[in-house]
Amino acid sequence: MRRVRSIAGDSVNLLLYREVGRCDDAVEEALWRLNPLLAEKGPVLPAGVWVIVPEIESRPVAATPVSAWD
């Protein structure tokens, strides 16, 4: 796990995408578990808030595409 500081105007999704390269539900859930008081800051984080970013693979596993003809 590593700590990063938010930039003015960051949302949780934007911060995750910048730091981890993805912002899906699994990564977001891990972030909220590591930072339980972060929700008190509101939907847009102020500058300089320390956030613990989860260590997760930067790319999610690609799902097999489904076709209408399968």
- Is pLDDT at 13 greater than 70 in this prediction? yes
Average of per-residue pLDDT across 2-14: 94
Report the DSSP beta bridge partners of residue 51: 4
70, pLDDT greater than 80: no
CA distance 5 to 31: 14
Cβ atoms of 27 and 35 closer than 8 Å: no
Q: How far apart are CA 44 and CA 57, in angstroms?
A: 25
Which carries the bigger pLDDT value, residue 8 or residue 58?
8
Domain residue extents for the chain: 2-53
State the amino acid at position 13 in one-letter form: N
Average pLDDT of span 60-64: 64
15-54, pLDDT tens digit by residue?
999 999 888 899 999 999 999 999 999 999 999 999 999 9
Q: What are phi and psi of 50, to 5 degrees?
A: -75, 130
- pLDDT over 70 (residue 62): no
